[in-house]
Amino acid sequence: MSDGAAAAASGAPRRSGAGSPDGRVLPLMSIGEVLAQLRPEFPDTTISKLRFLEAEGLVEPQRTAAGYRKYSWDDVARLRFVLTAQRDQYLPLRVIRAQLAELDVDGVPGRARPALVAVGSADEAPAAPGEPDLDGVEVRLTRADLVLRSGLDGATLAELERLGIVVSTPPGWYDSDALIISRAVAGLAAYGFQPRHLRGYRTAADREVGLFAQLVAPLARQSDPAARARAAELARELGALSQQLHAALVRVGLRETLGR
């Protein structure tokens, strides 16, 4: 592991400075260099996303006299914390911001820095086992690939497409969401669920899309990249909150059946 990578993974970062554990000063990085550091692990990250996270107060890079951003390895560690919490825990930014505030140890000489581990509560919808790597990742699958990787048979996939639960893009490619949906349906099928039982999911999702679009669309239509980044972030947070609400309502509904 390089000195920079070790510094980025060592624990909760300071908001300024770029010193390594052995006291050496590490070079500051441009926003493009930071993007190159993060992209292998977080391929959907963009410069607009990094600027948005700065605008939200989650990272504070230094500025040159000409106004260019300069990031330390501590800044990169903060960004990794934020992106990991979003990807693996589906945490909203307000929760991540609060966690970072607790981890900040600026101005406390000699105090050990805690490890950067994003932790959500039991109600904060962690990603499904085996699926965090798919969320937000660009995937392009053929029909045969989707059947093979999801465990669905061709007839079931055709029925899901007829119901509008799984969709493809011309000339017949399937993305990561199609794979996640197909795997979930395959898991439910093991308990006897059939595609016709899932119509309610599609209907409920369409209702939510209509509600959420009223909030997201005005930002998405703006030409400002920061506004579009905010639209994408808002859509992600609304989706995460919707998952939490759905899961809690199902738990409440099953309490009587479970005798609790």
Give the predicted TM-score (pTM) of the model.
Answer: 0.51
Asked if residue 249 is part of any domain, the answer here is yes
Asked if residue 139 is part of any domain, the answer here is yes
For residue 79, what are the contacts with CB-CB under 8 A and spacing of at least 6? Answer: 34, 38, 50, 53, 58, 59
**What helix, strand, coil percent values describe the chain, rounded to 5?**
55, 5, 40
- Note down the domain range covering 82: 3-103
Which CATH number goes with the domain that contains 60? 1.10.1660.10
What digits encode the pLDDT tens for the residues 194-230? 888 888 888 888 899 999 999 889 888 888 887 888 8
Asked if residue 112 is part of any domain, the answer here is no
Asked if residue 40 is part of any domain, the answer here is yes
Asked if residue 246 is part of any domain, the answer here is yes
Asked if residue 235 is part of any domain, the answer here is yes
Average pLDDT, the chain: 77
What digits encode the pLDDT tens for the residues 53-109? 888 888 999 988 888 889 998 899 999 999 988 888 877 788 888 888 888 754 333
Amino acid identity, residue 52? F
Angle of helix 225-258 relative to helix 199-220, nearest 10 degrees, comes to 150
Q: Residue 11 CB: number of other CB atoms within 10 A? A: 17
188 plus 240 within the same structural domain: no
254 plus 175 within the same structural domain: no
Asked if residue 199 is part of any domain, the answer here is no
Domain count, the chain: 3
